[in-house]
Amino acid sequence: MKLSTLSVPYRAVRRAVRLVVPIAFAAFSGMTVLPAGVGAIVAGVIVGSVFLLIGGWELAYYRRFDYELTGETLDIRSGVVARRNREIPLRRVQNVDISRNVLERLLGIAAVSFETAGGGETEATLRYVDFEEAKRLQREVARLKRGGSPTDVEEGAEPSGDRADEPEPEELFAVTSRELALLGLLSFDLRVPGLLVLVLTGSVPVLSSFVPDIGLDGQSLGAVLASWGALVVGVLLFSWAAGATVAVLNFYGFRLDRVGDELQYERGLLRRYDGSIPLEKIQTLTVEDTPLKRAAGYATLRIETAGYAAGGGGGREEAATAVPLATRDRVFALANAIEPFGEPAFERPPGRARQRYAFRYLLALGGVTAVLYGLDRWLAGAPSVPAPIAGPVATLAAVPWYAPVALVPVLAAAAHLKWTHRGWWLGPDHAVTRNGVWRRQLKVVPYYRVQTVIDTRTVFQRRRRLATVTIDTAGSLSVLGSDAAAVDVDAGTADRVRSELSDRLRRSVLEYRERRRAERLRALAVDEGPAQEHGEPRAPDAEPADDRSTESDGRRGAEDDGERSVDADGEGALDAVDEDADDAEDDGNDGDDRDGEAATDVAEDGAADRGAGDDGVGSGERSRSHTE
C-alpha cells in the first residue's frame, strides 16, 4: 500500500516552511551585497532550487514508501537512500493513534502511529494516509489481533462477513458541552504560575517593572502588599485562562467507546486524535482530582498502557486520559468497569507521619524566619544596598521578620491534609494507593501488573520507623515519577506489604495461566473447524525464527537502517522458551493449532503463558541480543 498522494505536496510544503523560510531570509539578506536586480535573481534561484529539491525528495519518499498489513505483521518498507524494512508483529502493538490537524482534516489525510512497549518512542508512523485508510488500519489491527483472517485489500472489496465479526461500539463516555465548560473552569494549571514566577524572578528588571516605585525611601506596607497581591492575582488569572484553553482544545468532542476488547477515543478541537487502547494492555488506572474538582464532585480518569509515547502529541497525560472530567461516581463506575477493584477501604499512614510533615514544614518556616531576621539585622546596620536588588530587599524588609509565625496554623492544617490524603489498600485483585493534596492521585494496580516492589527508607523516615513502598509497573506515566506508592507506612507494615505484593503477583500469574489454559482447551475442543475456515496459508516451521528477528529489529529503532540482522539463533534457553511462547501464542490467537498434538499442548501452554502473560510489556524482546 502507498501513502496518500496528497502526502507529497503536504509534506513538501511542511518541510519547505521549516526549511525555506530561514534559507530565503539568509539568501535575500546575503544577496544585498550584490547589485539589487542580480541579488534578487540569485536569491530567487537558490530558494527555487531548494524548493525543487524538497519536492523531489518528498516524491522519492512517497515512491519508496510501502506498507502492508499482513495477517500477523505490519510491514513497512521505507527510506530514500538508506532503506529500512520493518515488520511489527500485530500482537505487540499497544495502541494505534490517528492524529489530524486542521489542514490535514481539510485535505482528508491523517498521520497514523503504532505504539509498542519497546522504549519510549513510537514504533512506526505513517505520514500521511487518507483518513478512511487510517480508520481501516485501526479497525483491521484490532480485528486481526482478535484472530480474524486478513482481508484482501488489494482487491478493494471488503468481504461481507468482515464487518459482521466486528463488535458494536458501546459508548462509555462522551463529554457534554457543560462538562467541557466545567473542565475549562476547573483546569487550573499549576505549572503555569510556576513557570511565570520562574520567568519573572529570572530577570529582576522585569520584576521591578511589575512592582515599581518601591525604594528604601519608604512605601507603606499596604502599598507593597497590594502591588504584590495584584501581581499574584494576575498570574493566577492568566494561568487559569491558559489551563482552560488547553483543556478545551485538547478535550473538545471527547468520546470513549468500547469496541470488543479495545477502548477507542476521539478528542481535540484543532488537532483531532483517534486512538485505541487494548484492554489487556492496561497497566494502571489513575483517578485524579484537584481541590477545585473535589469541591465540585468531579474527577479525571487516566489509563496507562506500556510504552505509550505521547499518543502523537499533547503530552503523555492528555494521551492517557480516558475521561477528562465526570462526576466522581461516574468515574469510579467506569474505572470499575475496566478494572473491577471495588470500593477501596484505605488505610492511612500512622499518626507519626503527620508529625513528620508538620516538622518538615515548621523547619522550612523556621528557615524563612531566620532569613528575614538576618536581613532585618543586616539592614539595621544600614549598609548600602546594591541597586539591582534594592527593590526586592526593601519589599522583604517591609515584612516584619516574625510575620511567618502567623502561618503556623496554616502549616499544621497543611500537614494534616497531606496526611489525610494519603492511603493504601490491598484489594482482592488490585493494590490501590492515594497521594497528593493539590493533585490527588488514586492509582489502581492489578497485582498481575506488578513488576518490582521497592521499599525505600530515608534517614528521616527511619527516625520515625516509616517506609515507602513503591509498586513499579510497566506503565509509561510512571516515568514522570508518579508511581503507585504507599508512602510513610509503618516499617513493619511495609515489610508485610512487600512480601504480600510479591505473593499476590505470583498467585495472580497462576490464576491467569489457569484461565488461559482453560480458554485454550475450550477453544481446541470447539474448533478443529473454524481454524481451517480461515485457511491461512502458513509455513509454520519458518515462522518463529522470522518472527524473532523482525521483532528485535523493529525494536532497535530508527538508527538501524541496515538489513534485517538475523539474531534469531536463539542459543540460550530463555530464547528458546520465548520462541516457543511466541509460536504457541500465535496458534492460540489464530485458533489454529500447528500440529494438534495434545502431548505438546501442555508444555506449549506453559510457554505460551509467558508470551501472553507478559504481553502488556512485550515479553523480553528488548535488547535480546545481550542475552546469552
Query: Given the rule CB under 8 A, which residues bind another protein?
Result: 117, 306, 450-459, 462, 470, 472-476, 478-479, 481, 483, 498-499, 501-503, 505-506, 509-510, 513-514, 572-574, 577, 602-603, 605-607, 609-610, 613-614, 617-620, 622-624, 626-628
Helix or strand or coil: residue 262?
A: strand
Of the two residues 70 and 623, which places its CB atom closer to another protein in the complex? 623
415-420 long-range CB contacts below 8 Å, 24 or more apart?
415/354, 415/355, 415/357, 415/358, 415/360, 415/361, 416/354, 416/358, 418/354, 418/357, 419/348, 419/349, 419/351, 419/353, 419/354, 419/357, 420/348
- b/e code 291-317 from CB counts within 10 Å (16+ = b): eebeebebbbbbbbbbbbbbbbbbebb
**Which CB contacts under 8 angstroms, 24+ apart, belong to 160-163?**
none
Q: Using the minimum distance from each CB to another protein, give the nearer residue, 110 or 450.
A: 450
Nearer to another protein, 76 or 607 (CB): 607
Q: Report the nearest approach of another protein to the CB of residue 490 (Å).
A: 15
Rank residues 272 and 302 by Cβ distance to another protein and give the closer one: 302
Give the SS3 label for residue 230: helix
User: Phi/psi at 324 (nearest 5 deg)?
Assistant: -65, -40
Nearer to another protein, 260 or 611 (CB): 611
Answer whether 560's CB lies under 8 Å from 617's CB. no
From the list 155, 60, 51, 141, the residue with the least C-alpha distance to 98 is 141
Nearer Cβ to another protein (276/478)? 478
CA distance 315 to 146: 29
Q: Rounded to the nearest whole angstrom, what is the least distance from the CB of residue 92 to another protein in the complex?
A: 13
Assign 542 to helix, strand or coil.
Answer: coil
Can you tell me which residue has the cell 525611601?
217
Smallest distance, Å, CB 452 to another protein? 5
Q: Which amino acid is at 306?
A: A
Alpha carbon of residue 543 to chain centroid: 33
Cβ nearer to another protein, comparing 293 with 548: 548
Task: Supply 516's cell numbers.
Answer: 488461559
Output 272 or 504, the one with its CB closest to another protein.
504
Of 93 and 182, CB closest to another protein: 93
Q: Which residue's entry shows cell 461516574? A: 330
What is the closest distance, in whole angstroms, from the C-beta atom of residue 244 to another protein in the complex? Answer: 31
**Which residue in the block uniquely carries the three cell numbers 521591578?**
208
Smallest gap, in angstroms, from Cβ of residue 481 to another protein?
8
Q: Which is nearer to another protein, 155 or 628 (CB)?
A: 628
Compare residues 327 and 502 and give the one whose CB is closer to another protein. Answer: 502
Q: Which three cell numbers stand for residue 51?
A: 524548493
Q: How far is the CB of 24 from another protein (least distance, A)?
A: 44
Min dist. Cβ of residue 83 to another protein (A)? 30
- What's the min distance (Å) between Cβ of 361 and another protein? 21
Which residue from 590, 578, 568 is spatially nearest to 619, judged by alpha carbons?
Answer: 578
CA distances for 186 relative to 130, 131, 197, 240, angstroms: 36, 33, 21, 8
Residue 543 Cβ, how far from another protein at the closest point, in Å? 21
Find the shortest distance in angstroms from Cβ 73 to another protein. 22
Closest CA to 308 of 621, 69, 617: 617
In the bound state with another protein, the residue whose beta carbon lies nearer, of 268 and 618, is 618
Question: Which residues lie across from 327 on neighbouring strands?
Answer: 298
**231 Cβ contact partners less than 8 Å away, ≥ 6 residues apart:** 210, 211
104/578 with CB nearer another protein = 578
| Contact call for residues 172 and 258 (beta carbons, < 8 A) | yes
Strands (E), 460-582: 466-472, 484-490
CB of 121 to another protein, least distance (A): 15
CB of 517 to another protein, least distance (A): 8
Q: What is the dihedral of CA 370, 376, 378, 382, to 10 degrees?
A: 180
What DSSP string describes 68-117?
EE-SSEEEEEE-SSS-EEEEEEGGGEEEEEEEE-HHHHHHTEEEEEEEES
| CB 454 to another protein: min, Å | 5
Residue closer to another protein (CB basis): 324 or 544: 544
Closest CB to another protein among residues 230, 573? 573
276 touches 138 (CB < 8 A): yes
User: Among candidates 314, 608, 356, which has minimal Cα distance to 464?
Assistant: 356
Give me the least distance between CB of 439 and another protein, in Å please: 19
User: What is the closest distance, in whole angstroms, from the C-beta atom of residue 496 to another protein in the complex?
Assistant: 12
